[in-house]
Structure 1
Amino acid sequence: MADTYENYVDGEWRASETGSTFEVRNPSDTTQVVAEVQQSSEADANGAVEAAAAAQDEWADTPGPARGKFLRETAKRMDQRRDELAETLASEEGKTLSEASGEVGRAVNIFYYYAERAMDYAGESYNPSAQGQNLYTVREPMGVAGLITPWNYPIAIPAWKMAPALATGNTVVCKLSGDAPTVYLKVVECMDEAAEAAGVPDGVVNVLTGSGEAVGQPIIQHEAVDAVSFTGSRQVGDMIYEQATDAHKRVQTELGSKNPTVVTESADIEEAARIVGGGAFGVTGQACTATERVLVDESIEEEFVDALVDYAEGVEIGHSVEDPGMGPKVSESELGTTLDYIETAKEEGATVEYGGGQPEGSEYEDGHFVEPTVVTGLDSDATVMQEEVFGPFAGIMTFSDLDEAIELANDVEYGLAAGIVTNDHSEANRFVDEIDFGIVKVNEATTGLELHVPFGGMNASSSETYREQGEEGMDYFTIIKTVYDSY
């Protein structure tokens, strides 16, 4: 029988006032229930915000090293449960066990990183114009941070929002995605233990499950919430941005994308296919940084397509905890969306070079599996070349020169991650200069990020307000006070 998880509010585990729960199922085998979690309400959300607001002053007054101790103690407990967390993540989200282990390790390191940064992040000193004066800045917490997180990186994304918010003295209210909440609820178990060890006030961390309408909206709209950070779809993100800014809250959104990788004539074909295949089919294409548009020099198109098809053929599909090359889509609706996009591509004239459907076999019958898919023959304005498929999909177009390649790469409304594969560094430099994307990769997959550098998109991929991760992730959760001291 699957375990039932409660919300974590005001330092204790609480059942929702609705009395209702919902099941989280394994996308590799939907007959398996991973957990039951709370179907929370507006009253639950309001209670969590009120608990965070009540604890905020005491937490803000807690010295940075003490806040860092809390994050460090959390990271230690996560590290001790690393294998359990990875298996839980794989079981509920669909990443392979290796991919899940990598994400868990990233989350552990995020907590360790911000534990250290909490000790020395305070402000700056300046040289004043007047003698006998001290001139400096102090960074103070925004207050209560509302965090709305997605299912596709269910431990890393909540970690990279929550850890910098806590390190800088904010209290937090976090709504987890209903598709894959269990792994982070286990992180909250670690935080609960760490809070007792580090003497953290009740109400500093509050985490709930439930629908966006019932839980997310009240968090965003509550007058006690000072900052909102959201990662998810553009449609929802635009709505959240409008509501939060209308209420004069600080807001940060990271949304979808349609990421290109350019393969130039000078590139090594096999290496390029490996880079593109990893970026397109890794984590089942369920990453906002995944490669979906592949722009190939027309002189090497045939050779490259053959190499990418060979790569796709070599991707072993299977149950995530068995650690295959690629796991399932997270849900039936996500699977249906991907298959619908592939059908649309066919209707618009695409040639499916590989994949395009669901794998056959009894081992796939109860899961949300899809084949890695490679298509050719579409123009830049085709639906699947403009809209995010969010599955293991690579649409290939050709270009005649670098001017056209950059023009095609920029020919989308999004702008998160872009890559180029080349053995000509002048091509790489020009691409970096002219591409309108927030992350640029040279001879690397568009997926895969460092935790100590800024992360974020441009254009429709982001609110373009503040970056996440690194020191910039702390900047978002603080406001500057400038002090002129002539005492």
Structure 2
Amino acid sequence: MTDLTIIPAGKSLQEPVFEARHLINGTWQTSADGASFERQSPAHLVTVTHAAKGGVAETEAAIASARTAFDDGRWSRLSGKSRATVLLKVADLIERDLERIAMRDTLESGKPIAQARDEIAGAADLWRHAAALARTLTGDSHNTLGDDMLGVVLKEPVGVAALITPWNFPFLIVSQKLPYALAAGCTAVIKPSEMTPSSTVILGELLIEAGIPDGVVNIVLGYGDPVGTTMCESEHVDMVSFTGSTGVGKAIVRASAGTLKKVSLELGGKNPQVVFPDCDLDDAADAIVFGVYFNAGECCNSGSRIIVHEDVAEALTEKVVALSRKVAFGDPLDPKTKVGAIISEAHFAKIDSYVEAAREAGAEIPLGGGALEIPGLSGRFYGPTVVTNISSGMAIAREEVFGPVLSVLTFKSIEEAIELANDASYGLSAGVWSRDVSTCLAFARRVQAGTVWTNTWMDGYSELPFGGVKQSGLGRELGRYGLEEYLEVKTVTMRIGRTRAPWVE
């Protein structure tokens, strides 16, 4: 793969090791037993973070803090204006510290620094959008129940929200949850991924600086067991919001079942893009390349499954392979890099196992399939990979690879295309490429997905809800629907005056 675009290591890594602690009731704490863990940069294989490792004691203390803070009303009973004021301050502070936050996410996740900067800027916009919703939250009234009756529907915060976030977009995804929970009036306990804890800790610092009351937001660092498990099982937690794999999502539902708490899940995807022969193939190829290599394919929205009409399949594949060779893989600290390192050794092996299994089953691999050497770096990099001549029954065509690997299938008719698109247990996102608006609308209406893009891929806005169907999750994030996840509905039925006839004479 010597004809690929490689960005070698630039200047040596000189960032200090980040010291991360828990935030409980407004104070930064180490673990009671002194336990800790380290995180290495996946691109450099050197330690970049030293973090406190939470257990049951720290998790229960954080939950108790959030419970008290919610019940005494220090946040939940504030006006929407007062909550919005704090959220807007947080947005300003995020922009002020953008470089610092982006650097930590790059060092811990291996993502390119330019992408990390864009994500942090996008996160600031989410905080501002949530602030606007905090001031415009409304219920309903019903004045058609009779002259002597008035019905009022109130929307109230659900209570204590446990937010469990993943490693692939550490700061962006916590910002898809926390500001909306806070806008609703909830308090929160956050568990970031043990692989990317630092930017969430920095967010805790900014929340304190912005004036968030003690106990409203708590952060516990550590592993899913026991931290996440304790959150899910606790009777003092009213809701769990999780982003991650479908398998872990199912475990969270089981762990939460004992208390019947509300659960919101944003899970995996095997997202199809259906390409019709009348579309602009150059535009489609560029979007396909972006969709599969963005964040090294470690993205629930990855456009990893292309379903292309057989008349243009060969031409489109050639364009995609040619563009793939131009995508800059390499040093994540170089602003020119488009694709960085793979998050862990185990995940690298998982990606490669899908490709090798497809090869053994008779698939063709016109590009990639294996490790990529980056001069000056000792970390884990997987090369751009395109897999063709596959059937819909192969694992690589049905399961979430979560790496820079594109699967290409073909179709003859729109009926077959829709059948292939829906032939998966996931239903997060889908795309359609055609100049015919009728074709696009027919596909959008019939495909089983929470988001459908037409002649584009992965455009996102704070105003538009995001989430999946089938095994891609429960509930929605972003937009007004994202706020609604953190609310409960209460009906108040009011009789005006003494007009009710006696039940007992």
TM range (shorter): over 0.9
Residue-by-residue CA offset, 1:313-342 (whole Å, 9 max, x unaligned): 011111112121211111222212111111
Q: Is the contact between residue 241 and residue 253 of structure 1 (CA under 8 Å) also seen in structure 2?
A: no
- Indicate the SS of the match to 1:191: helix
Correspondent of 2:151 among 135, 149, 156: 135
Correspondent of 2:62 among 45, 48, 53: 48
Q: Is the contact between residue 340 and residue 381 of structure 2 (CA under 8 Å) also seen in structure 1?
A: yes
Point out the structure with max Rg over C-alpha: 2
- Partner residue of 1:468? 477
2: CA distance, partners of 1:94 / 1:294: 26
- Partner residue of 2:375? 362
- Partner residue of 1:77? 93
Q: Alpha carbons of 1:248 and 1:360: their partners in 2 closer, same or farther (altered >3 Å)?
A: closer
2: CA distance, partners of 1:146 / 1:114: 18
- Partner residue of 2:10? none
1: CA distance, partners of 2:288 / 2:166: 24
Correspondent of 1:341 among 344, 354, 364: 354
TM-score normalised by length of structure 2: 0.92
Q: Is the contact between residue 229 and residue 255 of structure 2 (CA under 8 Å) also seen in structure 1?
A: no
2: CA distance, partners of 1:15 / 1:122: 41
Q: Is the contact between residue 97 and residue 322 of structure 1 (CA under 8 Å) also seen in structure 2?
A: yes
- Indicate the SS of the match to 2:219: strand
**How much has 1:201 moved relative to structure 2?**
2.8
- Partner residue of 1:459? 470
Alignment RMSD, CA only?
A: 1.3
1: CA distance, partners of 2:472 / 2:18: 37
1: CA distance, partners of 2:487 / 2:311: 51
Structure 2 residue ranges without an equivalent (≥5): 1-15, 498-505
1: CA distance, partners of 2:476 / 2:157: 17
- Partner residue of 2:461? 450
The alignment of Structure 1 onto Structure 2 pairs a total of residues equal to 478
- Partner residue of 2:235? 223
Counterpart residue type for residue 239 of structure 1: A
2: CA distance, partners of 1:378 / 1:98: 34
Counterpart residue type for residue 51 of structure 2: V
- Partner residue of 1:327? 340
**How much has 1:135 moved relative to structure 2?**
2.9
Equivalent runs, 1:57-206 vs 2, <5 Å: 57=71, 58=73, 59-131=75-147, 133-195=149-211, 200-206=212-218
Q: Is the contact between residue 233 and residue 258 of structure 2 (CA under 8 Å) also seen in structure 1?
A: no
Q: Is the contact between residue 22 and residue 38 of structure 1 (CA under 8 Å) also seen in structure 2?
A: yes
- Indicate the SS of the match to 2:38: strand
1: CA distance, partners of 2:463 / 2:63: 29
Counterpart residue type for residue 487 of structure 2: T
1:2 aligns with 2:12: no
- Indicate the SS of the match to 2:304: strand
- Partner residue of 1:34? 48
1:24 aligns with 2:39: yes
- Indicate the SS of the match to 2:387: strand
Correspondent of 2:488 among 467, 479, 484: 479
2: CA distance, partners of 1:193 / 1:266: 54
- Indicate the SS of the match to 2:236: coil
Q: Is the contact between residue 139 and residue 152 of structure 2 (CA under 8 Å) also seen in structure 1?
A: yes
- Indicate the SS of the match to 1:418: strand
2: CA distance, partners of 1:73 / 1:303: 51
Q: Percent identity?
A: 34
**How much has 1:90 moved relative to structure 2?**
1.6
Residue-by-residue CA offset, 1:439-474 (whole Å, 9 max, x unaligned): 1010112x34212111110111113xx211111111
- Indicate the SS of the match to 1:108: helix
TM-score normalised by length of structure 1: 0.96
Residue-by-residue CA offset, 1:113-168 (whole Å, 9 max, x unaligned): 11121112131233232226543221111111111111111011111111111111
Residue-by-residue CA offset, 1:279-338 (whole Å, 9 max, x unaligned): 111111111010111111111111111100001101111111212121111122221211
Equivalent runs, 1:294-333 vs 2, <5 Å: 294-323=306-335, 324-333=337-346
Counterpart residue type for residue 32 of structure 2: E
Equivalent runs, 1:383-462 vs 2, <5 Å: 383-445=395-457, 447-462=458-473
- Indicate the SS of the match to 2:426: coil
**How much has 1:98 moved relative to structure 2?**
1.8
2: CA distance, partners of 1:258 / 1:273: 18
Q: Is the contact between residue 178 and residue 211 of structure 1 (CA under 8 Å) also seen in structure 2?
A: yes
1:11 aligns with 2:20: no
- Indicate the SS of the match to 1:327: coil
Q: Is the contact between residue 18 and residue 198 of structure 2 (CA under 8 Å) also seen in structure 1?
A: no
- Indicate the SS of the match to 1:61: coil
2: CA distance, partners of 1:472 / 1:361: 43
Q: Which has the higher helix share?
A: 1
- Partner residue of 2:3? none
2: CA distance, partners of 1:6 / 1:307: 48
